[in-house]
Chain A
C-alpha cells in the first residue's frame, strides 16, 4: 500500500512553471526528505499534498495526486488537511494561549469535552517534547515561548489533530543547533506512527533523518532513492554536485 501516488504532476503559478512532470510514490511510515536549492519547487510540491497551493489564485495544475488511492482534488479539503498535517518554515503560533494553540485544531473539528481536550493537549505536548517545559504555563501567550519551543508547539498542534501524514516545510530554518536537534529527535520518533515528508535546505539534516531522499532541481524530480544511496552513490551527477555543495 502506498500513501501517495503522484502522476505527471505539473504546477504553474500564472505563467511560471513550478513543477514539471513529477511522478513518484510515498510509502507509509517512511521519512521522505526532499532536498534541492531554493526555487527548485520543493515547497510547492509539499504544499500540493495538503492542497495549500489552492490558496494562491494563480495556481494551475495538471496530472494528479492520489492519497490512499483517492484523488486529493476530489477529497473534501478540510478532511484532507486533518489527515495531512503541516509544520511551517517559521514557528507560527496562533495568537492564542499555549493550551488553545494545541487545542485549536481539535476544537475546530468539534470536540467540546473539557477533560478529553485537556488529555489530548497533554498527550500532544508530550509527543512534541514540550510538556515538561510548558506544563505550568499553559495559559500564557504562545508568543512568550522561545523560537525552538514555538516550533515544537507547532508540531504538537499538528499532532493533536491526529493526522496520518505530517509535512515539514524547512522546520528548522529559523532555529539554533540545539533546538534543531530537539526537533529532529521528535521527527525520528514520530515516524513510527506517521508518514513524514521533510523539505529541508540542510543536506545533512536530510541524511540524518530521511529513509529516502528526493532531489528537486528547477521543478524537476531529478532523483529519488534510499538516503544512503543518494549520499554515497547518486546516479545523477547533478545530485552528486548538490550534495557535495558545488551549487545551491
Chain B
C-alpha cells in the first residue's frame, strides 16, 4: 500500500483535535453545570447572610469573608518572601550543584500534596508556635503551599529579562542592586503576576491545608482578629456536601459558583494589573 501523506495528516489532525476536546469539553461542562445549578441560588441573602437551620438555609457570608482573609493573608506572606527568594536564586546565587539541587527541590515542592502542607501547618503554626487554629495559621500554611509556585514563576520571569540589559546598566556604573531594581524587576513584573495568579487560585481552592489549621465547621459570626477561626468556602462546600444531610443541591452548587466567581474575580484584578505593565513595556 502506498503512503498517502494527506491521509496521515488527517489522522494526526484527528488525534490532536480529540486531545483538545478531551480537555475543553469536561472543563466547559464543569463551568456550565455549576452556573446552571448554582446561579438560581445566588441572591442578596445568600451572599450576605450567615448559614441558618444547620446550614440548610441562609447564606454563606462568613465563608466568603474567611476565604478572602485567608487568600489575602497567604499572598501578603508568600509574595514578598517568594519574590526575594527568586531574586536571590536568579541574580545572586552561583551556578553550583548545591544551588541546582535547591532550585530543583523548590520546583518539586510545588507538587507536594496539599494535605501534607496541612499537617505541616498543624505541627508548626498551630501546635509549636501556639497560634491555635486561626486565620494566621491558615494563611501561613497556604502561603507556604504557594511559595514554590511563586518562586519558580518569578525566577523564570527574572531570568527571561535579557542579559544585555543587565550588562548595559552595569556598564553605566549602576550597582547590581540598582540594575535589579530599575531594569530587571520592572520587566519581570508581568511574569511574577502570572505566578501570583496561579498561587491565588490554588490558595483559594484548597481544602486540606485549612482543614487542620483554621477552618471552622460552623461559625456564624465573623472573625474579629487573625487569631480567630474562620469558615472558608472550599471547606464549607465539603461540609455541606458530605457532612450535613439533606442540604439543598441549589445551596451546594451556589457555594461552588461563588468560589469559582471569587477566584475568577481575584485573577481578573491581577490580569488587569499585568496588562497595564505589559502595555508599559517598551520592547
Contacts and interface: CB of A to CB of B under 8 A. Distances in A.
Interface of A: 50, 52, 55, 57, 78-79, 81-82, 85-86, 88, 90, 92, 94-97, 104-105, 108-109, 141-143, 154, 157-158, 161
Contacts of B164: 88, 90, 92
Given A57-B95, A94-B165, A108-B178, A143 B282 contact: yes
Contacts of B186: 95
Contact of A85 (B169, B172, B175): B172
Given A57-B95, A95-B282, A78 B167 contact: no
Given A81-B172, A88-B164, A143 B283 contact: yes
A40 B14 CA distance: 55
A82 B175 CA distance: 11
Nearest to B172: A105
Contacts of A57: 94-95
A94 B169 CA distance: 8
Interface string B186-206: 110000000000000000000
Contact of B173 (A55, A92, A143, A161): A161
Given A94-B165, A108-B182, A142 B172 contact: no
B187 A78 contact: no
Nearest to A158: B172
Given A94-B183, A95-B281, A143-B283, A105 B173 contact: yes
Given A57-B95, A141-B282, A104 B171 contact: no
B174 interface: yes
Contacts of B167: 52, 55, 88, 92
B95 A78 contact: no
A108 B282 contact: no
Contacts of A92: 164-165, 167-168
Contacts of A157: 172
Contacts of A109: 173
Contacts of B168: 88, 92, 94, 154
Nearest to B96: A57
A79 B282 contact: no
Given A78-B175, A94-B165, A94-B183, A55 B170 contact: yes
Given A94-B183, A95-B282, A141-B282, A105 B174 contact: yes
Going nearest first, the 3 A-B pairs with the smallest beta carbon separation are A82-B173, A105-B172, A141-B282
Given A52-B167, A78-B174, A95-B183, 13 more contacts: A81-B170, A82-B172, A85-B171, A85-B172, A94-B165, A94-B169, A95-B186, A95-B283, A108-B172, A142-B282, A143-B283, A154-B168, A157-B172
Contacts of A105: 172-174
Given A94-B165, A94-B183, A104 B282 contact: no
Among A57, A85, A108, A158, residue most surrounded by chain B Cβ atoms (within 10 Å): A108
Nearest to A79: B173
A108 B165 contact: no
Given A79-B173, A85-B171, A108-B173, A97 B182 contact: no
A158 to B, nearest CB: 7
Contacts of B95: 57
A227 to B, nearest CB: 26
Among A78, A143, A154, A161, residue most surrounded by chain B Cβ atoms (within 10 Å): A78
15 contacts: A52-B171, A55-B167, A81-B171, A82-B173, A85-B172, A88-B164, A88-B167, A92-B164, A94-B168, A95-B187, A104-B172, A104-B182, A108-B169, A109-B173, A154-B168
B162 to A, nearest CB: 9
Nearest to B161: A95
A81 B175 CA distance: 10
B170 A52 contact: yes
A50 to B, nearest CB: 6
